[in-house]
Chains A and B, each alone.
Chain A
Amino acid sequence: MENIRNQTKIFFLRILNIPFAFLMHAIDLIMWPIQKIIGVRNMPYIFLLPNLIFFGLFVIIPLGANFFFSLSSGDDLLFAERELPTTKQYDQLFDCESYLNPNTCTEDFFWRGVYNTIFFVVFQVGLMIFFSVLTAVILNKKIIGRGFFRSVFFFPVLLSPVVVGLIWQWILLKNGAFNAIIESYGGDKVSFLTDPSWAMASVIFVSIWAHMGFYTLIVLAGLQAIPPNLYEAAEMDGTSRERIFFRITLPLLMPNLLVVFILASIKGVQTFDEIYVLTGGGPGTSTSLIVQYIFTTGFASSGSVQNFGLAAAASMVLGVVLLFLTLMQLYFSRNKESKHQEI
């Protein structure tokens, strides 16, 4: 039986291989003469070329163009139609009487986005890491049905933001399942998504629900890397479980958690999709984050003015924050590796 299954598998792989081999032979007809002309030593450039063209076109050139857009004014995307140089956009973004009060800013929408993002990231990342560690520690124990529980906690990671947004929008409706549960326990109905004081909490909850599994998995990998003989030694000494957790597990997990923390912040600052589907940034601006501002300012399709320059300037500000976070991540993950080598 096993044999037959393997043979069918190989058979199908062979069939799948036919168009692939055909394509590869066809490319070889071009590559062979090229190799003859430029020599084997120069072939790696040919192999690198397609990837570098893509990077250049869609990352490097846009990065330069972003500087250009943010420093030039005009309603057109054409380079020739834009006026250079101007700091108009940055002036407009940072034109505030008091940076602590978004109402005094010309671009109050941007500053609200900034403060919402800070609030969102602090709570989303903090709570998510807390629950990820809790879940990972529990899933690392010898429990019945561990594999099943692991996949249950991981599953939402694979869902698309639209699916996540729609499922939760529907469950959190005023006449939705969540309110039915609350009412059956004697509570009052809550407008989770339309009440400004609840909307942010709901959005944070859904975002944690959707992404927690990913971080749980990484923390779990960190837990499994802790040498088991430490636990055995502690058990021999009769150390209590609480003490084992705080004196062995947590300290050894710390370098891992730091990287997870920064990784989650990098993703958190860029959150857009789920919130866009869930609340659209509303009610009012109570759940609109920075990327929502960039999207609305640059690409609002609902007839309002598209201001590419302003959107580009705002993304430069976001870029600086992300660059800082990424450099921190590189620094700490390098530190982590060197520490591991010492052990």
Chain B
Amino acid sequence: MPETTSRIIKIATKKRYKNKYHWTDYFSYFYLFLGVLLMFGPVVWLGLSSLKTLAGIQEYPPTILPLSQIQVDVEGYDKPLPIFNVTQEDGSVKQLAQIKRIGINAKMVDPLNPGETVKVPIDKREKIREFKIQWQNYVDPLRKYDFLLYFKNSTFITVVATIITLIINSMAAYALSIYEFRGKNFALVFVIGTLLIPLTIILVPVFYVVANFGMINSLWGVILPGAATPTGVFLLRQYMLTLPRELIEAARMDHASEWAIYWRVVLPLSIPAIAVLAIFSIMWRWNDFLWPLIVLSKSEVYTLQIGLNAFHGELTSQWNYVLSMTMVTLLPIAIIFAYLQKFITTGIASTGMK
């Protein structure tokens, strides 16, 4: 009898999946670990490397942390020389500065005795490192080059374009959701239709229109063409359709003008949808590349993205500045993401737009 009871208990408490690891569980964690390395690694690596000296960045194989080799001034030499721990023949270790490397040997000098040079095989020496953060990488480009100006241009475009987009798109959404009027369906189809025409297939004529308004090399030439977005109108319209009509009727009873109903009643109630559109618009504008590349050809109107690309093209060897400015370019978006992550992901999942 006790045997059957224990068997019954065993059967009753047996769980098919819990506490039992399936091969997919091991695989999942392995995959996620790899994924974190591959997805997040490059950005972390960028952040760390942007704090290295140029020599540290060009070092191969690279070090992970910003550890740079210590350099000393030696009498009789113009440039500071890197120092090494050199293992002597008798096994003792001595600090020597390297003048230059010749094949498998290095010509080295003792900093305390600069008159005498010695030849050392390169596998006998080891770099002496120190932890050193190179803030210069961030300060120099902002001072010497126009990155502050690019930053200002990018901010101007992002802010102004987002405000214009929000206002005109919410106005159109308001008209298409609250009113019944002749031509409403036509207007709706018209808006859907523009969804079918991405900028890439009308580059030449949009350039022509912008040129006709004299907006080439002007920030307005970047702001205006993308101000009306069909996705924005739709997102807001879908939301406004859910608002109770009684509120609008009540406001009309109180002799509110239609414009007042729009901004005092409908807009405040649609804030969740407007916030989603605002975040998208900020992202689009800050990251925009192709259109600004076509419209802006003078360096004083460059956005951060265009400026960074041009800067990289001109000074390919200055990776320390390129990396630090890449960090500056991605930081605003990264901060926004850190704060509004949940908001952004649900926004994308529910609208299917980017």
CA distance in complex: A184, B195 (Å): 49
Residue A100, interface by CB 8 Å: no
Residue A334, interface by CB 8 Å: no
CA distance in complex: A101, B354 (Å): 36
Residue A156, interface by CB 8 Å: yes
**Contact code string A52-83 (vs B, CB < 8 Å = 1, else 0):** 10110111111111101100000001000000
Task: Give the number of residues in A that approach B within 8 Å (Cβ atoms).
Answer: 98
Q: Which of A291-341 contact B (CB under 8 A)?
A: 291, 294-295, 298-299, 301, 308, 311-312, 315-316, 318-319, 322-323, 326
Contact partner of B286 (CB less than 8 A), chosen from A31, A160, A165, is A160
Residue B247, interface by CB 8 Å: no
Residue B273, interface by CB 8 Å: no
What are 20 A-B pairs at a CB distance below 8 A? A55-B191, A55-B194, A58-B224, A59-B194, A63-B202, A66-B202, A135-B31, A150-B345, A151-B337, A158-B334, A167-B326, A170-B323, A177-B45, A209-B39, A235-B17, A238-B16, A259-B352, A270-B200, A315-B203, A323-B196
Q: Which of B2-16 contact A (CB under 8 A)?
A: 16
B202 and A62 form a contact (CB under 8 A): yes
Residue B176, interface by CB 8 Å: yes
CA distance in complex: A273, B36 (Å): 25
**Contact code string B190-202 (vs A, CB < 8 Å = 1, else 0):** 1100111110111
Taking the nearest CB of chain A, how far is it from the CB of B32, in angstroms? Answer: 5
A135 and B35 form a contact (CB under 8 A): yes
Closest 4 CB pairs of A and B: A54-B228, A160-B287, A65-B205, A62-B205
B259 and A308 form a contact (CB under 8 A): no
Q: Which of A40-57 contact B (CB under 8 A)?
A: 40-45, 47-48, 50-52, 54-55, 57
B308 and A322 form a contact (CB under 8 A): no
A157 and B61 form a contact (CB under 8 A): no
Q: Which residues of A contact B29 (CB under 8 A)?
A: 143
**Contact code string B257-269 (vs A, CB < 8 Å = 1, else 0):** 1111011000000
Contact partner of B258 (CB less than 8 A), chosen from A35, A52, A68, is A35
Q: Which residues of A contact B257 (CB under 8 A)?
A: 28, 31-32, 35
B201 and A66 form a contact (CB under 8 A): yes
Stretch at the interface among A121-129, A194-202, A217-225: A217-225
Taking the nearest CB of chain A, how far is it from the CB of B82, in angstroms? Answer: 18
Residue B51, interface by CB 8 Å: no
Most A CB within 10 A of own CB, among B32, B169, B194, B287? B32
A51 and B203 form a contact (CB under 8 A): no
CA distance in complex: A153, B31 (Å): 12
B45 and A153 form a contact (CB under 8 A): no
A45 and B181 form a contact (CB under 8 A): yes
A40 and B258 form a contact (CB under 8 A): yes
CA distance in complex: A244, B3 (Å): 35
Contact partner of A50 (CB less than 8 A), chosen from B25, B171, B206, B289, is B171
Residue A27, interface by CB 8 Å: yes
Residue B272, interface by CB 8 Å: no
Residue B297, interface by CB 8 Å: yes
